[in-house]
Amino acid sequence: MGLELSELDDSTFLNSVKREVIDWLRFITIFMAVFYIFSTLFYALFFIPSGSMRPNLEVGDRFITSKWAYGWSRHSLPWGTARFLPSSNNRLFGHPPERGDVVVFVNPKNGTVMIKRAVGLPGDVIETRGGRLYINGERVQRTFMRITRFRDHYGQIRTAQVYFETFPNQKKPHTIYEFSDQMMLTGWSPDDSGPFTVDDGHVFFMGDNRDNSNDSRSPHGPGLVPFENLVGKALTVVFTFARCRHEPGLDCPSGRLWRLF
């Protein structure tokens, strides 16, 4: 009798564990499926790994991206699953970004996910001369704001000029950093580049940290980015892991919770 009860108890326990495991697997499967669909169609969370979008985005910022802003392509799929699908030039309900949008996209040269500001649209001619940005031969308006000194994420103290820049027909200006209007990097100058003619179905991108951005100007950057490679429009910083010490004479960004672009 004792043996029968022991066997019954063991069987009941194993069945209970089995049901618990099955329930958890079912929950995880449903949750992952819903999350995958939501992240494909609506919104996704990304983070900033570099300082190319300073001062508007800092290293460590977590921000929300709208997946439906420009329609959907295979690059709308999360977790890098787009690489398993064939290339296509089509977007479902697709339309181009507006000039000035902050856009998440996939680098067509190496497949890395990047974030930059849309500067050139199809048919535009983009160039920089003497540190100034020209769109279709017209110099883009910028207004000097101040000088800033800050410690970058490598621990180096940097000094930059802060400008408000306004694109043609842009509703409100955005802020950019310039270290110099005669900046030279290895083999090229971000302040004297182009002209670049934007092909049909492509976008020309630049970082807001103009002298420290591997963007469409750079020979090592993404070049002209096809519409297909657009992931979504950056909307707002949700929170940040970025931290800086408050040091005399150095700026330390703050107030980055739920900050709209």
| Helix (H/G/I), strand (E/B), else coil: 182 | coil
Say whether 171 is catalytic: no
Say whether 88 is catalytic: no
Q: Is the dihedral of CA 37, 65, 46, 135 positive or negative?
A: positive
Active site residue: 73, 76, 116, 213, which one?
A: 116
CA dist., res. 130 & res. 153, Å (int): 28
Of 181, 177, 201, 200, the residue nearest 191 (C-alpha):
181
Active site residue: 52, 76, 193, 216, which one?
A: 52
Q: Is the dihedral of CA 162, 164, 168, 169 positive or negative?
A: positive
CA dist., res. 118 & res. 110, Å (int): 19
Query: Which residues does 245 contact at the CB level (< 8 Å), separation at least 6?
Result: 151, 252
Q: Is the dihedral of CA 50, 182, 102, 151 positive or negative?
A: positive
Instruction: Enumerate the active-site residues.
Output: 52, 116
